[in-house]
Structure 1
Amino acid sequence: MPERRSAARRPARPSLRRRLLTFLLVPVLGVLVLDAVIGYFVALAYSNRVHDADLSDSALTLSEMIGSDALRGELTAQARFLLEYDPDGRNYYAVVSDRHGRMIGNAELEGPGAAVVTDAAPKLYDTALGHRPLRAAIMRVPNHQDPGDVLTITVAENLRDRHTRAREILFLTLPMQALLIVAVLSLVWFGVRHGLGVLEPLTARLGKRGHDLGPIGEEDVPVEILPLTRTIDDLFARMRNMLGLQERFIADAAHQLRTPLAGIQLHVERLEATNDPVQRVDALGHVHRLAARAARTSAQLLALTRTQSPDLPDHDGMAIVDLASVVPEAVAMRVHQALTLGVDLGYEGDDTPCLVRADALQVQEVIDNLVDNAFHYAGRGHAVTVSLRHDEGEVVLAVEDDGPGVDDAFLDQLGERFFRVPGGDEDGTGLGLAIVESIAERHAARVAFLHAASGGLRVELHFPAVASGKPAETTS
C-alpha cells in the first residue's frame, strides 16, 4: 500500500506532445474568445448605426408633423403612440419654441451642450433621463406657424434594444464560431501528432544501434533537435574516449605486467622446490625486484591514464601558477633521495616570477618523472640539474644530466609509450617520458629532447608565458 501511494504522488513524466498542445491550444482558445468579444462589439456598433439612422428619421418625421398645417402644433394620438412605442420601455420626444417654450413632449431632455445649426441634419448625442442612459437626435427648424420663431426638436430612446440586437447577432454567429473552434483544435491536434511523427525514423534508427557509440548523424534529424543530437554526439565522443582509455589501460597492463608476474611465479616455485639458503635468498631478491617493477608499472599506467582523462580542465581553464615557486619546492622534495642514490641534484633559476596557466600537481608530476628518468639512466656519481628561465614569451623548464645520453637515432622516439633505449636498464617501464608528453600536451606546452652540453640528455618543456595575473595558491 505505501508503494502504491508513493507511485500515485509521483509527478507525471514530461510530454513534448502535451507541452506543444498546451502552448498552441491555450493561445488559440484565447484568440477565439477575443474574437467573440470583438464580434459582440462589432455587432453593437452595427446596431447603433441602424438605430441612429432610425432616430434621425424619427426627428425628421416629427419636424414634418409639426410643420403640417393640419396638425397646428398638436400630435394625434396615433402619432404620439408611434413616437413613444418601445417594446422594452418608452421613447421620448420634446418640441421647444424659442419664443413660446415647450410646446409638446413627454420628457424634459437635455441638449448636447453645443450649438445646433438651424435647418441642418439631426445631430446625435448621448444623454440621460435620471439614471437611464439615452441616445438622442436633435435638430432646429423654423416655425412655419410663427415666422421668426425656431423650434428645437429632440427625439431620444433607451439603449436596451441596441444591446438586444447585438446579442442576437452574436448568438447567430456562435454556432459558426463553435464549429471554427472545433476545426482549429482538430487541426492543431493533427498537426502536432503528425509533426512529431518525423521523430519516429530517428527513434527506430537509434533503437537498432545496440552498443554503437558512433555519431548519430544529421540526415534524418529535424533542425529543431539538432542541438540535442549534437550534444549527444559530444557525449558519445567522450564515452568513446573513456572506453578507449580503459581498453588501452587494460591492454597495456596485461602486456607490461605479464613478464614480472610470470617471473614472480617462477621464483616462488624455486622457493618451494629448494631448501638451499643461497638459492632461496636469490629467489626472494628476484621476487622483490619483480614486485617493485610491477608496482611501479601499475602506478605509471594509472598516472598516464589520468593525464589523458577528458574530465581534467583544458589549458584555458587552468589557474595561473608561478613556476618559480613550484619547481624549487618540487626539487627540494627529491634532495634526500638524490643523496641516497649518490646523485648531485641541483636547481638553477632566479626569483623572477614565471607565470603560466598550469595544474601545479601535474607540473610536480612532470618534474618527478623527469628527475626519476635522470636518476635512473645517469646513475651514481653523476649530476642532475633542474633549471627554469624565460625565453621570448615562453617559460622553459629543463632537466638535464651528465650521464651517457641518448644516440641521435633514438631522440625522436623518446616520449613514445613503453619505448626504452636499447642497451639500457631493463627495469624501466618506458612510461615516464610518455607521461611528460601527455601532460605537456594538456598544458599547450612543447617538449624537446636534446643533447646536454655535458653529454647527457636534456629535456625541455616550453610553456606559454602569462603576461600578468595573480598566481593561485599551491599545496604540496
Structure 2
Amino acid sequence: MSRDRPSQPWLYRKLTPDGRQSLHRRLLSFLLVPLMLMLLIESLVTYTGALVYSNHVHDSDLADSVVTLAEMLSKQDMGDQISPQARFLLEFDPQGHNYFSVSSDKRGLLAGTSELRPPASLTLTVDTAPRLYDLVIDRRPVRAATARIPSSHDPGDELTLTIAETLHDRHERAKEILLLSIPAQAMLIAGVFALVWYGVRIGLRVLDPLTERLATREHDLAPIGDADVPVEILPLTRTIDGLFARLRGMLALQDRFIADAAHQLRTPLAGLRVHLERAQSDPTPATVHDAFEHIGRLTHRASRTSTQLLALTRAQSPEHESRVPDLIDLNRVVPEMLSLRVHEALAAGVDLGYDGCDKPAWIDGDRNTLQEMLDNLIDNALRYAGRRSIVTVTVDQLDHRPRLTIEDNGPGVPPEFLARLGERFFRVPGSGEEGTGLGLAIVQRIAERHAAQVFFLRGNEGGLRVEIVFPGARTERRER
C-alpha cells in the first residue's frame, strides 16, 4: 500500500532509496540549481561579450574596406568606375550578402545599390574618417561604413563611398567564441560541484559526536546542551531539550502520583484488611456488622482519595497548557455550576447562596477545570463549615480583574495555618473531619493554570474566605 507524502516541490523531496528525506541530497540540490543558473548566466555574458568584440573587429574591417575602396578610386584612373572583379569582391559573402555604393554629388549613383543612403543626421567631409551606422536592406539589418573623397574624373565633384554587410558573420563569430568557452565553464562548474559535494559530506560529519553521545543514552533525559552542537542545529537540539524537560515533568508527576497513592491508600487498605480478618475470626452478626460499617467508611475514603489524587494529577499535567482557552463569563457560568450542588447543601443543612455583579466578568479559561475548582471549594465549605452555616459565592471585580470569592461563617482556620492551606495533604489540626488534604491543593493548581492568584483569608464572620483573582480576558477576544 502506498504511503501519502506531503505535496512539496521536487526540489524539497530528495529521498533515499528507503523513502526517507536526505539532508545531504537536499543540500546538493539547493546548490546544483544555482550552479546551473550560473552556467547559463555566464554563457549569456560570454556571448554578449563575444558579440561586442566581434562587432568591434568587423566595424574596423568595414572601415578599412571603405578606405581601401577610396584609395583604389583616387589612385587609378578608372573614371570613377569599378571593375567587375572589384564589384564581385565587394559584394561577395558566403553566408549572406554585402552591399556597396559609389555616388557622385553631380552625377548621382555611379555603382552599387541606391538603398545605401547615409542618414540625414550624418555629416560627412572629405577629411573625416569613415562613419558607421545601421540600416535595413531587403528586411535584413546591415552595418554600413561611409566616407567622402574628391572625384579623380572631375576635380569639382566629390564621391560618397559606402560599404555594408549583414550581421550574420558577426553572430557566427560570437557563437564560435561561446562554444569554445562552454567546455571550460562546464568543467569549472563540475569542479565546484565536486568540491561542494565533498565539503557537504565532510561537513555533516560534525554531527557524529552528537549522534554518538545520544546513542549511549538509555533512560537519561538530561538536556543535550550546546557543547558540541553546531550553530545551525541549535534550534533543533533546544527543541529536543524542551521535549526532554516536558517528559521529565510528566515522569516526575507520575512518580509523585504513585508515591502519593501509595502513601494515602496504605492506611485505608490496611484498615480494610484488619476489619476483614476481624469479621472472619468472629463471625457473630454484631462483629460482622460493625466490621462492614468500618469497611464501608474505609472504602469511601479510599475512593475519595484516589479521585482527589487523579484530580490533582490532571491539574498539574502539562496537557492543559496546549489547549486553547475559552472565553468564559464567570457571572454567567458560576450560577450554573452552583445549581448542581444545591441539593447537597440542603442535605448538609447549609445555606448556599450566590451574589453576582452587574457586568460580565470575562476570563480565558477551561470550563471543566473551573467546575472542578468550584466543586472542591464547595466541598471544603460543606465539610468544615457545619450545619446551619451560610456559604456565599461572589463574583465581582477587583481593580478591573474578575474575582471569585467563597466565604462561610463556620469555625474558620487559625491564622497561623492560613498560609499552608494550599499544600498537598495538609489538614488543619483538630478539624475533626475526615479528608484527604488535597481539595485546596487542587484549587491552587487549577488557579495557577489560569494565571490566577489564590488568597486564604479570615472571613468577616470568622469563617474561611477564599479569593481567586483572575487576569482579565484579552481585549481582542472579548470584542469579537
**Aligned ranges 1:76-475 → 2 under 5 Å:** 79-80=86-87, 82-88=89-95, 91-105=98-112, 107-114=113-120, 115-119=122-126, 120-313=128-321, 318-425=325-432, 427-465=434-472
Name the CA shift for 1:350/1:88 in 2 (closer, same or farther; >3 Å). closer
Compute the displacement of 1:174 (Å). 3.0
Q: Distance in 2 between matches of 1:390 and 1:124?
A: 91
Question: Are the counterparts in 1 of residues 364 and 474 from structure 2 also a CA contact under 8 Å?
Answer: no
Compute the displacement of 1:3 (Å). 9.1
Q: Distance in 2 between matches of 1:45 and 1:470?
A: 66
Name the CA shift for 1:471/1:150 in 2 (closer, same or farther; >3 Å). closer
| 1:8-43 CA distance string (max 9 Å, x none) | 999832222222211111111111122123212321
Residue type of the alignment partner of 2:404: L
Q: Distance in 2 between matches of 1:174 and 1:471?
A: 66
Any gaps of 5 or more consecutive residues in structure 2? 6-14
Question: Are the counterparts in 1 of residues 353 and 392 from structure 2 also a CA contact under 8 Å?
Answer: yes
Greater mean deviation of Cα atoms: 414-423 or 453-462: 453-462
Name the CA shift for 1:278/1:171 in 2 (closer, same or farther; >3 Å). same
Residue type of the alignment partner of 1:231: T
Q: Which residue of 1 aligns with 2:36?
A: 29
Residue type of the alignment partner of 1:322: D
Greater mean deviation of Cα atoms: 457-466 or 209-218: 457-466
Question: Are the counterparts in 1 of residues 80 and 151 from structure 2 also a CA contact under 8 Å?
Answer: no
User: Alignment partner for residue 61 of structure 1, among 52, 62, 68?
Assistant: 68
Greater mean deviation of Cα atoms: 210-219 or 342-351: 342-351
| 1:56-107 CA distance string (max 9 Å, x none) | 11111111111125444344566556545545465433212222233344x4
Compute the displacement of 1:139 (Å). 1.6
Q: Distance in 1 between matches of 2:344 and 2:458?
A: 25
Q: Distance in 2 between matches of 1:90 and 1:336?
A: 112
Greater mean deviation of Cα atoms: 178-187 or 153-162: 153-162
Question: Are the counterparts in 2 of residues 118 and 142 from structure 1 also a CA contact under 8 Å?
Answer: no
Name the CA shift for 1:354/1:34 in 2 (closer, same or farther; >3 Å). closer
Question: Are the counterparts in 2 of residues 320 and 469 from structure 1 also a CA contact under 8 Å?
Answer: no
Q: Which residue of 1 aligns with 2:11?
A: none
Question: Are the counterparts in 1 of residues 100 and 116 from structure 2 also a CA contact under 8 Å?
Answer: no
Greater mean deviation of Cα atoms: 375-384 or 275-284: 375-384
Q: Distance in 1 between matches of 2:41 and 2:2?
A: 47
TM-score, L = length of structure 1: 0.88
Question: Are the counterparts in 2 of residues 65 and 75 from structure 1 also a CA contact under 8 Å?
Answer: no
Name the CA shift for 1:168/1:402 in 2 (closer, same or farther; >3 Å). closer
Q: Distance in 1 between matches of 2:375 and 2:392?
A: 13
Greater mean deviation of Cα atoms: 248-257 or 37-46: 37-46
Q: Distance in 2 between matches of 1:169 and 1:470?
A: 68
Greater mean deviation of Cα atoms: 367-376 or 57-66: 367-376
Greater mean deviation of Cα atoms: 396-405 or 281-290: 396-405
Q: Distance in 1 between matches of 2:385 and 2:464?
A: 9
Name the CA shift for 1:327/1:85 in 2 (closer, same or farther; >3 Å). closer
Q: Matched residue pairs, number?
A: 467
Residue type of the alignment partner of 1:385: T
Name the CA shift for 1:341/1:33 in 2 (closer, same or farther; >3 Å). same
- Percent identical among aligned pairs is 55
Q: Distance in 1 between matches of 2:322 and 2:96?
A: 87
Name the CA shift for 1:34/1:394 in 2 (closer, same or farther; >3 Å). closer
Secondary structure of 2:370's partner?
helix
TM-score, L = length of structure 2: 0.87
Q: Distance in 1 between matches of 2:111 and 2:477?
A: 100
Question: Are the counterparts in 1 of residues 130 and 145 from structure 2 also a CA contact under 8 Å?
Answer: yes
Compute the displacement of 1:142 (Å). 2.0
Q: Distance in 1 between matches of 2:392 and 2:171?
A: 102
